[in-house]
Amino acid sequence: MKILVTLKRVVDYNVRVRVKSDGSGVETDGVKMSINPFDEIALEEALRIKERGEAEEVIVASIGGDEVQQQLRTGLAMGADRAIQVSADGDVQPLTAARTFLKLVEKEEPGIVFLGKQAIDDDANQTGQMLAALWDRPQATFASKVELADGKATVAREVDSGLETIEVDLPAVLTSDLRLNEPRFVKLPEIMKAKRKPLETLSLEDLGVERAGGIEAVSYEPPPQRGGGKVVESVDELVSELKSKGLL
Amino acid sequence: MPSYTGPVEDFRFLIHECLDLQECRDLPSLAGVDSDIIDAVLAEGARFCESVLQPLNAPGDEAGCRLEGDEVFTPEGFRDAYRTYTENGWPGLTSSPDYGGQGMPHFLGIAMSEMITAANTSWGMYPALAHGAWELIHLHGSDEQKRTWLPKMIAGEWTGTMNLTEPHCGTDLGLVRTRAERRDDGSYRISGTKIWISAGEHDLADNIVHLVLARTPDAPEGTKGLSLFIVPKFLVDDGGGIGERNGVRCAGLDHKMGIRASATCEMVYEDAVGYLIGEENKGLNLMFTMMNGARLGTGIQGLGLASVAYQNAVTFARERLQGRSLDGAKNPEKPADPIIVHPDVRRMLLTSKAFIEGARALAVHTALQLDIEYNHPDAERRERAGHWVALMTPIIKAYFTDMGFEVTSLSMQVHGGAGYIVDTGVEQYMRDARIARIYEGTNGIQALDLVGRKLTAANGETVKSFFTEVERLLGECADEPAMAEFTKPLAGAAERLKSTTAAVYQKMAGDPLEAGAASVDYLELFALTAMAWSWTTQARAALRALDAEGARSDFYRTKLDTARFFMARMLPETLGLEQKILAGGETLMALDESAF
């Protein structure tokens, strides 16, 4: 069985994100970029499945310009066997990403497509679900525990009320939640070896992907600065203040 | 509790934008090491230091090491961290691929050392000593010794130590008494006591390879009678694995002001089997290879501790609300302004920042010279790089550790009373930094090395290697008007250093005491001038980057502002130093001993 893991290049979670002065997006020049942490967890889980002998190959894929090769190389250094870059300019919306991954699914025929539950840049939380729908296969999202047996995956999902355990037939789409595992450190020799592992570059056109255009980003702005607090004299004043702000 | 973030962005700037890697394309250590790999190594290294080592720092300091019988136990978590470190291949970062290392460039090694020290100085002592020991065996050991010891040491399975000091001899190694008796099988039996042996005994590795200075029975007196031996804790069996326990044991652990989780051991040798490295009576020179590497590494300790102490001072200065800015409230909606608005707090933070980033650039450049010195195809280039390293070794050791301590003290000052409270965590940095001015040759000894040896070395070529670089930089920037605000003070300081060097040279020819009297001030004068050079190279790279489109302008503008601060408010110290040096040693020597 093959596992396809998708890796999105995002601003590192430690970086304080800043909006560009013209409001056209967030600043990424010279900013530390990393694999989306949820995707890294997905890759870690895929590697563990392979190390248990339950999968033969782990493929990492990313959509974007040549800069995404850096994240793919990190994925290879963590232990993935090969990488696919689907080159694309500009903003890639969840539906475009899902359509792209569907093409890769048709090409590679994996038993599991493992994604992060969402990317920490746009927090869309859509690509995995859309892919499952387009592919017409089961989905198990927000996974915090995954077990495989007899062509099925038993997945504990993190839901609002606690944990929900479901069973899905493979092939299926899985998306990882934060507590699924703790990703490994990259071993130094693997960083060098990753350079020699295969990295294939395709384009949206090669794959015949039609770009989705449903969402248009109009402008970006930082959250408003917090205003000063106010000391109230009595409970009554507090209640009336809250009411006047429509909070009560 | 303090926190730490590896300065990956600054390292990337220094390596990708300040170093001249073009001329180093042919170096084996750079073959296949492209910018992606450099970035990946820096990012992974930082991640390890931040997430594994830093959390163990304060608890390790509190717990210290424990001696039971002759076994030493490191604080909780140290073993696991060391296992992670070795499993991920870090011990072999810069070591020879012939013995399992990664053979990567020394600037990555220096970067990793800085981050390890900043995250956990005590823990960093164990791999640092091991590194020094394998480097010595790699340079001076026989082929058989290399085959026996290096693979395990480079894999981190075995660590190493350096054994010089004895109860009655520290700086003056001519007094070493540890004996080495020849045996028929070619080995020796070592007996004696060594003290203050870092990483002499611990529970991190399976074996410990001690490098020991000792004296054969018929050896001449003094330093010319010292031989160097490999004395392992466990002998090696026929299969190359752990064999019999050797006659060396830890007889005591020292209780220290700082680096408390680093085991500082008294080692007793009783008929321990030892193997001679090189020839008899040539041991001290060999040991100096290890010492030179260790001196650079010690300088980096000063830098690393300064870096983490500064980071925490900045966080505190931004968060601590106290009083109002002298020119009116900056934060009117809050009860007070953050203390970072005050000129004096900024003076402390900027002094720290300008030291750290200037020193880091100097260290990264010097590390590249190490690769050039060892491996460049052009002999002339190798030699020039060697001069630079020899010259900068005492400067980096002494200036970085003096300033490193100063910056940890400034960090405490910025923290105010909270800094003096142990639970805040920054006082540990000050305690940990203090030793670096003492060990690996006190900073006074470094200054004597600079004045007594390096000034006259290689017919003055050693010192010239610095002035040549300064002149080259000034020449390259001559047509860039925007660089004048940096090149002018650099040129002035270089002239001052040159004339002072000539004066010192002349004085010490007449009276050797004059060399000693000038030495410490002279080293600082030299260091500040080297920092001016370092800041000028950074300013040039920053200006060039700002000219290019779409650059991350904040980063480069901050570089230029920090360079301006250095030139305006730190480099002028050279004026006072010049005056002190030229005043000579007369007043130092005037008092009769009884008058003190």
Catalytic residue among B114, B166, B427, B440: B440
Neighbours of B579 (CB within 10 A): 11
> Six-digit token pair at B279?
């020839």
**What is the separation, in whole angstroms, between the first and last Cα of chain B?**
44
Dist. CA A92–CA A115, nearest whole Å: 16
Residue B33's closest CA among B111, B127, B114? B111
Interface test with A, best of B41, B88, B94, B546 (most A CBs within 10 A): B88
Q: What is the pLDDT of residue B315?
A: 96
| A185/B41 Cβ within 8 A | no
Sign of torsion over alpha carbons A187, A193, A197, A202: positive
Which 8-state DSSP code applies to residue A26?
A: B
Positions of chain B with pLDDT under 70: 549-552
| A14/B40 Cβ within 8 A | no
Distances (CA, A) of A73 to A44, A193, B127, B280: 14, 10, 28, 50
Catalytic, B440? Answer yes
Question: Distance from A195 to chain B by nearest Cα, in Å?
Answer: 8
Q: What is the pLDDT of residue B551?
A: 54
Residue A247 confidence class, pLDDT cut points 50, 70, 90: confident
The answer, for A143 touching chain B at a CB cutoff of 8 Å, is no
Q: What is the pLDDT of residue B338?
A: 95
**Per-residue model confidence as pLDDT tens digits over B383-396:** 999 999 999 999 99
Neighbours of B340 (CB within 10 A): 18
The answer, for B217 touching chain A at a CB cutoff of 8 Å, is no
Q: What is the pLDDT of residue A23?
A: 85
Q: Name the closest residue on chain A to residue B87, using Cα atoms.
A: A187
> Six-digit token pair at B404?
């490193």
**Architecture of the domain made up of A2-244:** 3-Layer(aba) Sandwich (3.40)
Q: What is the pLDDT of residue B24?
A: 81
Q: Which of A30, A31, A77 sits opposite B40 (nearest CB)?
A: A77
Residue A117's closest CA among A157, A80, A63? A157
Distances (CA, A) of B337 to A38, A227, B415, B418: 39, 16, 15, 18
Dist. CA A191–CA B90, nearest whole Å: 12
Residues 57-116 on B with a CB inside 8 Å of A are 84, 87-90, 92-93, 102
**Per-residue model confidence as pLDDT tens digits over B527-549:** 999 999 999 999 999 999 998 76
**Per-residue model confidence as pLDDT tens digits over A15-42:** 888 888 888 888 887 788 899 999 999 9
What is the DSSP code string of B263-331?
-EEEEEEEEEEEEEESSTT-HHHHHHHHHHHHHHHHHHHHHHHHHHHHHHHHHHHHH-B-S--TTS-S-
User: What beta strand segments (E) does chain A contain?
Assistant: 2-6, 9-11, 33-35, 57-63, 82-87, 112-116, 139-149, 152-159, 162-169, 172-176, 199-203
Sign of torsion over alpha carbons A113, A116, A122, A123: positive
Question: How many secondary structure helices (H) and strands (E) does chain B include?
Answer: 18, 11
The answer, for B555 touching chain A at a CB cutoff of 8 Å, is yes
Dist. CA B186–CA B230, nearest whole Å: 13
Q: What is the pLDDT of residue B20?
A: 86
| A29/B36 Cβ within 8 A | no
Find the largest Cα–Cα distance for chain A: 71
Report phi then psi at A142, rounded to 5. Answer: 55, 45
| A30/B89 Cβ within 8 A | no
Which 8-state DSSP code applies to residue B166?
A: B
Q: Which of A29, A74, A228 sits opposite B40 (nearest CB)?
A: A74
Distances (CA, A) of B298 to A81, B147, B584: 41, 28, 30
- What residues of B are in contact with residue A228 (Cβ under 8 Å)? 333-334
H/E stretch holding B81: helix B78-87
Residue A143's closest CA among A14, A61, A60, A39? A39
Domain residue ranges of chain A, discontinuous segments joined by + = 2-244
Sign of torsion over alpha carbons A181, A182, A187, A190: positive
- What residues of B are in contact with residue A186 (Cβ under 8 Å)? 40, 44, 88
Tell me the mean pLDDT in the region A53-62.
98
For the ranges A78-87, A204-213, B489-498, which has the lowest average pLDDT?
A204-213
10 Å CB burial of residue B109 (0-12, 13-18, 19+) is: buried
Residue B108's closest CA among B304, B368, B299, B302? B368
- What residues of A are in contact with residue B85 (Cβ under 8 Å)? none
Dist. CA B196–CA B181, nearest whole Å: 24
- Packing angle between helix B461-476 and helix B512-547, nearest 10 degrees? 30
H/E stretch holding A239: helix A235-244
- What residues of B are in contact with residue A32 (Cβ under 8 Å)? 8-9, 43
